[in-house]
């Protein structure tokens, strides 16, 4: 807890002890009031401290016939939440900008308009390995803004690109050697010297590649993460993690390598990696065996020895054929959380023995693991994200459902059953990104519940009726406001708090 320091002037030392006690009491009261504001900030919203989510917008056509290239593969807000970027399987990046009018109106609205669209990656073919390289965008990461332009990193399976997104609302006219159309003017037609002038023009948003980082990964890139120094970043594939400098494209440093000498001895792969948000020397990476490793680059150039290992002991009585598959961590985010197939876990960097909080996401699917294994859904990689104040967590599920957890609620006490009863616990919320939500703008979203038994209530859906083709894999939370973006197949749903 913060302490209050008081600076006393020479005149103050001459006051009576009674006045001193009164001043001390007032200072202490002010300090307590400040602490109360800090702890309560973000929880008071006129609805008893609970957020009421409502539909704001949906991007993309709400049609059943969807092409593979239009499926959204990643979602990312920039650092101030003014821009929201999505990548799809067709290699395109679409950037949405916050509508200025939506911020000024009362109450605020989380509305975004298309700002720029560009083709980030094209399909390629590796002739040496006879492999096709998909154009699908795996990850997008924004750089902090330093000037009028915006910069972002995008990657497919093999190549990372640094893009500059800038505006141009002026044009130069009155060239001496060129016509207005841009063609070169014959020297014989230049009869006088003119001073070019700058005139207003229609706003144009241009996206241009500034750097291309290639030929450093043998396996598919699954993660990129910017360092807090804003000069370096890491990229991870199944077996290696590389460290790059944003200004150097032809050289990277290998900082993690778990590839064994004999590939038959391979027991795990890297599933996600991320830098610490403030300590530039620390990063974490997760594995398919359900472990999270914290590495310190100050210890050695090659971080083959981790500084800390976060692993939850396995219950031998609960072990099954699917235990190793469902324990694989699909995403890791700092403040430090990890998402496996059935649940969301929050770890404290100071405690390695077990997670401090565990949130069952869709525990009701444990009885369906055989079917999920047969249709390959058990290998789906769900991302997780933090709210801007680190008090809430969000991740996706099936049937168009996504889960929001209030930290400190009943859901974080331990691994619960995860059925209809568990979903009704305080602090847990299951919502749906669907056409019904889009048809009811500004109306509060109805909480959804999944029934695990034959007897179900009117507002519940049976676990046997879940649509596993409608999966929410990618979500993003506005860094400062209660505005969330949820990718559902080819649609981007934006929800906001009903202030």
Q: pLDDT > 70: what percent of the chain?
A: 85
Does residue 258 lie within any of the structural domains?
yes
16 pLDDT band, cuts 50/70/90, is very low
Query: How far, CA to CA in Å, does 170 sit from each of 114, 146, 148, 164, 206?
Result: 21, 21, 14, 18, 13
How far is 74 from 221, CA to CA, in rounded Å?
A: 14
Q: Is 189 exposed, middle or buried (0-12, 13-18, 19+ CB in 10 A)?
A: exposed
Tell me the sheet residues that pair with 231: none
126 pLDDT band, cuts 50/70/90, is confident
For residue 73, pLDDT over 90 is answered with yes
104 pLDDT band, cuts 50/70/90, is confident
Tell me the sheet residues that pair with 163: 152, 209
Note the pLDDT tens digit of each residue in 309-322: 998 887 777 788 88
Number of structural domains in the chain: 1
What number is the average pLDDT over the span 72-78?
A: 96
188 pLDDT band, cuts 50/70/90, is confident
Tell me the sheet residues that pair with 232: 245
Does residue 39 lie within any of the structural domains?
no
Does residue 29 lie within any of the structural domains?
no
72 pLDDT band, cuts 50/70/90, is very high
- The phi-psi region of residue 263 (left if phi > 0; otherwise alpha if psi is between -120 and 50; otherwise beta) is alpha
The set of residues, in sequence order, having a beta carbon less than 8 Å from that of 238 and lying 6+ positions away, is: 219, 220, 222, 269, 270
Does residue 38 lie within any of the structural domains?
no
Domain range for 401 is 53-497
For residue 428, pLDDT over 80 is answered with yes
pLDDT at site 174: 78
Closest listed residue to residue 78, CA positions, set 485, 490, 491, 488: 485
Distance of CA 248 to the CA centre of its chain: 26
Does residue 48 lie within any of the structural domains?
no
pLDDT at site 336: 56
DSSP structure string for 143-208: PPP-SSSEEEEEE-SS-EEEEEEEEEEEEEE--SSB-TTSPBPPGGG--S----EEEEEEEEEEEE
User: Is pLDDT larger for residue 414 or for residue 163?
Assistant: 163
User: Is pLDDT larger for residue 16 or for residue 330?
Assistant: 330
What number is the average pLDDT over the span 382-394?
A: 92
Does residue 17 lie within any of the structural domains?
no
How far is 488 from 485, CA to CA, in rounded Å?
A: 10
pLDDT at site 114: 95
Note the pLDDT tens digit of each residue in 391-416: 999 999 999 999 999 987 655 554 43
For residue 9, pLDDT over 50 is answered with no
Cβ 153 vs Cβ 226: under 8 Å: yes
Note the pLDDT tens digit of each residue in 197-235: 888 888 889 999 999 999 999 999 999 999 999 999 999
CATH of the domain at 119: 2.130.10.10
For residue 288, pLDDT over 90 is answered with yes
What number is the average pLDDT over the span 29-45?
A: 34
Q: Tokens in use for 314?
A: 């396995």
Does residue 108 lie within any of the structural domains?
yes
Q: Tokens in use for 387?
A: 């709210």
Does residue 86 lie within any of the structural domains?
yes
């Amino acid at each position: 807890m913060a302490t209050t320091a008081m600076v006393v002037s020479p005149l103050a030392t001459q006051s009576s002890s009674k006045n001193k006690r009164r001043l001390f009491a007032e200072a202490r009261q002010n300090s307590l009031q400040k602490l109360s504001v800090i702890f309560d900030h973000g929880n008071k919203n006129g609805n008893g401290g609970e957020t009421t989510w409502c539909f704001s917008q949906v991007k993309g056509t709400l049609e059943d016939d969807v092409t593979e290239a239009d499926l959204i593969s990643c979602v990312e807000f920039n650092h101030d939440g003014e821009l929201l970027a999505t990548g799809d399987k067709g290699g395109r990046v679409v950037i949405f900008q916050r509508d200025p009018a939506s911020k000024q109106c009362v109450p605020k609205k989380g509305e975004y308009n298309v700002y720029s669209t560009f083709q980030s990656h094209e399909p390629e073919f590796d002739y040496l390995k006879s492999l096709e390289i998909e154009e699908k965008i795996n990850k997008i990461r924004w750089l902090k803004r330093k000037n009028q332009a915006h910069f972002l990193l995008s990657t497919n399976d093999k190549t990372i690109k640094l893009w500059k997104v800038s505006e141009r609302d002026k044009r130069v006219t009155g060239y001496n050697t060129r016509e207005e159309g841009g063609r070169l003017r014959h020297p014989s037609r230049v009869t006088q010297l003119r001073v070019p002038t700058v005139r207003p023009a229609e706003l144009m948003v241009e996206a241009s590649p500034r750097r291309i980082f290639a030929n450093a990964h043998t396996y598919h890139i699954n993660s990129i993460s910017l360092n807090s120094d804003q000069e370096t970043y890491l990229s991870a594939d199944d077996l290696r993690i590389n460290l790059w400098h944003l200004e150097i494209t032809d050289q990277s440093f290998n900082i993690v390598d778990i590839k064994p000498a004999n590939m038959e001895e391979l027991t795990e792969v890297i599933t996600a990696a991320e830098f610490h948000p403030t300590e530039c020397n620390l990063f974490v990476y997760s594995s398919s065996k359900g472990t999270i490793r914290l590495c310190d680059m100050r210890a050695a150039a090659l971080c083959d020895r981790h500084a800390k290992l976060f692993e939850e002991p396995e219950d031998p009585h609960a072990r099954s054929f699917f235990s190793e598959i469902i324990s694989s961590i699909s995403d890791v985010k700092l403040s430090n959380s990890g998402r496996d197939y059935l649940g969301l876990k929050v770890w404290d960097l100071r405690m390695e023995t077990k997670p401090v909080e565990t949130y069952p996401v869709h525990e009701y699917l444990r009885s369906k693991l055989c079917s999920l294994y047969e249709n390959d859904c058990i290998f789906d990689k769900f991302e997780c994200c933090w709210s801007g104040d680190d008090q809430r967590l969000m991740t996706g599920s099936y049937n168009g459902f996504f889960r929001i957890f209030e930290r400190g609620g009943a859901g974080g006490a331990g691994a619960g059953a995860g059925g209809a009863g568990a979903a009704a616990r305080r602090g847990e919320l299951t919502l749906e990104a669907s056409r019904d939500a889009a048809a009811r703008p500004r109306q509060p979203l109805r909480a959804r519940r999944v029934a695990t038994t034959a007897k179900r209530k009117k507002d519940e859906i049976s676990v046997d009726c879940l649509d596993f083709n409608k999966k929410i894999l990618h979500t993003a939370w506005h860094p400062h406001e209660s505005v969330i973006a949820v990718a559902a197949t080819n649609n981007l749903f934006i929800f906001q708090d009903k202030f």
